[in-house]
Amino acid sequence: MSKPKSILKVVLPLLLGVGLVWYSLSKISIPILVQYFKDADYSWIVLGVVLGILSHASRAYRWLYMAEPLGFKPKFANSFMAVYAAYLINFTIPRAGEIARASILTNYEGIPFDKGFGTIVAERIADTIMLLLIIAIAFFLEFEFIYNFFAEKFNPTSLLFGGAILLFGVFTLFLFIKKSNSKFALKVKGFVSGLLEGVLSIFKMKKKWAFIGHTLFIWCLYVLMFYVTTFALPELENISIAAVLIGFILASFSIAATNGGIGSFPEAIVIALTLFGMAEDPSRAFGWIMWSTQTLVIIVIGGLSLLYLPVYNRKKTTV
């Protein structure tokens, strides 16, 4: 990859994040936002933080099942600290956390980098499937709302016609990719092949049901973490499950858009919750409260993990 392209991949998400922070704070006065922070019920926020830590601990433990077939038995503590260190590093360079996590496991557990990184990619495939499942559940629960929303924005006949064209386009693209040997087609085929291989590798795992159980547990905790934190603001007390799911989905995508969701996370929440009739100010304040608290935890535990990893492993080797 060329150096200018690498720089752009780092700088653009950061600039987008800074721009969205400015935009978000221009839509709500700082004193009002500070007042929301002061008036919030922190017992619910702390509960959300605890659920977040439990989900990451489950993620760290789940990875141990992937290391076992490779002939390694890594320590849970190293896996846990590697997970938090990866989240912290993702705030600086997008997707660098996964590389750092694999490097940490290589340094302290002796797992070859390529094998460690491969297991992390397979983990991401399982997580992608879970996110798609949540999207499907949200679509099923709110099909009528979603249909009516688009019907109001577009003529139903045009919507059906557009859907038919989209399906035809997808089918044509599928045939093209299947038969073509172009660089783009080979890249897509390689990605789909890797996706399927990763999914199938989960079912070949010795403790596959434990892995699947942890995956379900992790994502249930993610959604629950989002939901319980809404109780921190009385203005969101009547929020529906559908609004929670849509908010969670958009917030998940926002984390990929900018470094750790900087700026994009609160605005994704606003878009989701206002669709369901929630007021803009408390929706934006909720986005900032949730992002700030979860980010603070990642900075603290991630930073401590990076500092303690060499200490913990030095103790381990001298015992």
CB 297 within 8 A of CB 49: yes
- The size of the chain, in residues, is 319
Can you tell me the distance from the alpha carbon of 147 to that of 149, in angstroms, rounded to the nearest whole number?
A: 5
What is the largest distance, in Å, between two alpha-carbon atoms of the chain? 73
Token pair of 94 as six digits: 């997008």
Contacts of 143 by beta carbon, 8 Å cutoff, 6+ apart: none
> How far apart are alpha carbons 205 and 224 in whole angstroms?
28
Contacting residues for 128 by C-beta, under 8 A, at least 6 apart: 195
Predicted confidence at residue 319, as pLDDT, reads 46
Write down the pLDDT at residue 197.
58
29 three-class SS: coil
Token pair of 68, please?
Answer: 């076992």
- Beta-carbon contacts of residue 91 (< 8 Å; ≥ 6 apart): 259, 260, 262, 295, 298, 299
Tens place of pLDDT for every residue, the chain, 319 residues? Answer: 455 655 566 677 777 778 888 988 888 889 999 999 999 999 999 999 999 999 999 999 998 888 887 788 889 999 999 999 999 988 887 678 888 888 998 899 888 887 788 888 888 888 888 999 998 888 887 767 666 665 665 566 665 666 678 777 877 877 777 777 777 777 777 666 655 655 566 666 778 888 889 999 999 999 999 999 999 999 998 888 888 999 999 999 888 788 888 889 999 999 999 888 889 999 999 999 999 999 999 999 999 999 999 998 886 555 4
